[in-house]
Structure 1
Amino acid sequence: MTRLKAALIGVSIAAVSLQAATTYKVTGRYPVAGNGGFDYLMIDSGARRLYISHGTQVDVVDADSGKLLGTLSDTPGVHGIAIAPEFKRGFTSNGREDKVSIFDPSTLQLINKVDVGKGPDGIYYEPASKRIFTNNHGSHDVTAIDAKSGAVVGTVKVGGDGEQAIVGNDGMIYVNSEDTNDVVVFDPKSLEVKKRFPIGVAKTPTGLAYDAKTHRLFIGARNEPKMIVMDAASGKVITSAPIGTGVDYAAFDPDAKLIFFSCADGTLNIFHEKSADEYEDAGAIKTQQSAKTLAFDPKTKKIFLSAAEYVETPATDPSKRPTRTIKPGSFVVLVVSK
């Protein structure tokens, strides 16, 4: 194959990937009953189940139809959901009671609750260590739970409020620390912090995604809203680009080389990774205000976002802020696809 022909093929592949990115749009809405607050949602792609944090409960819907399959109750202030498939166990981070609920995903029945650090927020499963981790915003640490037994096995002293996390090729967990403005790298087995990578170019990092082939971290920061691309080995910042305000989650499609950031201002930013050090803006999708978290389905390439409308009630004291409440009947899961 000649160099010119190879180059033309490379350009064609890049053009197709970029064109595919720009065809994303909101294609569906799954109404969900109830008026509670919301945070993360998580998809079990194999089981075709979408888990949605919703006030004091987790609603579970069919990912393809939006049909409500069931509800896991008694999860006060739930933030996130994680599944350990080999043990047929699910876990929720209950922020208001400093506990994790352990449940059976097939029946949604509660098995047990365990005490963790203060204010558990994000929660995730690391399959090599077979442990569940919670990012605790009240105690500024991470709790490790044995997924099989449900026992707490230790604490990672990250010294910050962890947001989204990923597992790297090196077996380490990388987690954004939103109050210290760095990426903390820790060993899921020894629970030791190995590295800290200052972000520098922006503050309040929340969303985090990862390309295992190029070893690049994709960080979404709220203060001076940016996507930051970082070398996962060295912590070097490669580049950055503006995004919407109120970012809270990120995802990466390794097939199309697309990076997604969901923002509370109603923006879903999409970027295309041309190479390890080259990136282009693939366009922004208008979603809905408050749609700050997402779940990416690797099977269908669809993106799901929780959102709701808010009503502001003026405070009786003019010096105080208005009260914001969710408009009854407005909670919904948006479906974004090609």
Structure 2
Amino acid sequence: MKKLAVCIAVLIFACYAFSQDQPSAPKPAPMLLVQEIPLPNVGGRIDHFTFDGKRKRVIGAALGNNTVEVVDTFAGKDIHSIIGAANPQGLVYVGEFDRLFVANGTDGKLRIYDGDSFSLLNTVDIGEDADNVRYDPAGKRVYVAFGGDEEGSIAVIDAASGKRLEDVAKLDAHPESFQIATSKPVIYANIATKAKVVVIDRNTHKVTNWPLKSGKANYPMALDEADRRLFVVTRKPAQLVVLDSDSGATVASVPCVSDADDLYFDTGRKRIYIPGGEGFISVIEQTDPDHYQSIAKIPTTVGARTGLWYEKRDRLYLAVPASSKQGAALWVYAPQD
């Protein structure tokens, strides 16, 4: 009986030791590539995107191609190219007026198209290097960033009439990505060449400067308004910087993919997605408003640094520029819980 007890004890110990030696099952990736949509006639750099929710279309600025590409996400194909653009950079589709607003960097114009036929309806002079575009549904205003090395601004367009209104403020350089707050009348904007964020009061036009304590070349930006957090990515070094959106104080910083040009916040999963030209998507988790951790670097391809996060469809669309190895495409990712 004693020998039996000893044998059982040895067996239990051996099984435990064996289980400890076995590698644990790998965690599923937080994002999976589920579709590749070819962009057969697109060459060169691809910039920013917008979404036509009614028609289920992703619309992108093919900057290096001087076209705007319209992709049917249900059919999974590029269905139309809007020609005549001049280095299109930023764009926004406004469903309530069925209008597509496209900022063009070469001639500094905002081209306004019909959302169905894509016929050109109006052209508005904006200024040097017209770039990022946003829409404020409450005020029914379209905002367009523009400027150069020593001065810049954000133009305001009446979305219904297409007329240009008074600019929000004078800035000391070209604004890159910017976000419009809904809980208060302010705009947050990256001034990448000055390594700072500016806060613009839309009512008084007052500009407040928030110099970054570390990092420069801050291009992408996203806003978590519920938790009063502003997300900024710098390229030098490659990092996510989290700011308090009330005070500008630095809350956290996390290393991320290099050469980033877009940044998205998944409000449901509390995750931040950062595509970078290095060839990865950084996935950073918000544990709480003050704490963040990198949970994955999803391999993509070199040069893929822009796209669109469409939360209603729970999909991330990544722009893949043409190269010697592959044609241009729109890669579609599905987040995993």
TM-score clears 0.5: yes
Contact 2:221/2:262 (<8 A) preserved: yes
Give the equivalent residue in structure 2 for 1:39.
47
Give the equivalent residue in structure 1 for 2:21.
none
The structure number with the bigger radius of gyration is: 2
What secondary structure sits across from 2:258 in the alignment? coil
Aligned-residue identity in percent:
25
List gaps (5 residues or longer) in structure 1: 1-18, 311-326
Deviations 1:57-105 (A, max 9, x none): 1010112332223222211100011122222211001111110001111
Give the equivalent residue in structure 1 for 2:3.
none
TM-score (norm 1): 0.84
What secondary structure sits across from 2:177 in the alignment? strand
Give the equivalent residue in structure 1 for 2:314.
301
Pairing partner for 1:140 from 152, 157, 160: 152
Pairing partner for 2:94 from 84, 92, 104: 84
**Aligned counterparts of 1:167 and 1:20: Cα–Cα separation in 2:** 36
Give the equivalent residue in structure 2 for 1:24.
31
1:116-265 matched pairs, under 5 angstroms: 116-138=126-148, 139-155=151-167, 156-168=169-181, 169-190=183-204, 192-265=205-278
Q: Could you tell me how far 1:145 is from its partner in structure 2? A: 1.3
**How many residue pairs are counted as aligned between the two chains?**
303
Give the equivalent residue in structure 1 for 2:70.
60
Q: Could you tell me how far 1:109 is from its partner in structure 2? A: 1.1
Contact 2:223/2:230 (<8 A) preserved: yes
The residue type paired with residue 201 of structure 2 is D
**Aligned counterparts of 1:142 and 1:20: Cα–Cα separation in 2:** 44
**Aligned counterparts of 2:98 and 2:105: Cα–Cα separation in 1:** 23
1:283-322 matched pairs, under 5 angstroms: 283-310=296-323
**Aligned counterparts of 2:326 and 2:299: Cα–Cα separation in 1:** 21
Q: Could you tell me how far 1:137 is from its partner in structure 2? A: 3.6
Q: Could you tell me how far 1:123 is from its partner in structure 2? A: 1.2
List gaps (5 residues or longer) in structure 2: 1-25
Q: Which moved more, 1:247-256 or 1:38-47?
A: 38-47
RMSD, aligned CA:
2.0
**Aligned counterparts of 2:235 and 2:313: Cα–Cα separation in 1:** 29
TM-score (norm 2): 0.85
Contact 2:254/2:292 (<8 A) preserved: no
**Aligned counterparts of 1:142 and 1:66: Cα–Cα separation in 2:** 35
Give the equivalent residue in structure 2 for 1:49.
57
Q: Could you tell me how far 1:185 is from its partner in structure 2? A: 1.4
Q: Could you tell me how far 1:329 is from its partner in structure 2? A: 6.7
Deviations 1:289-326 (A, max 9, x none): 1111120011222111111244xxxxxxxxxxxxxxxx
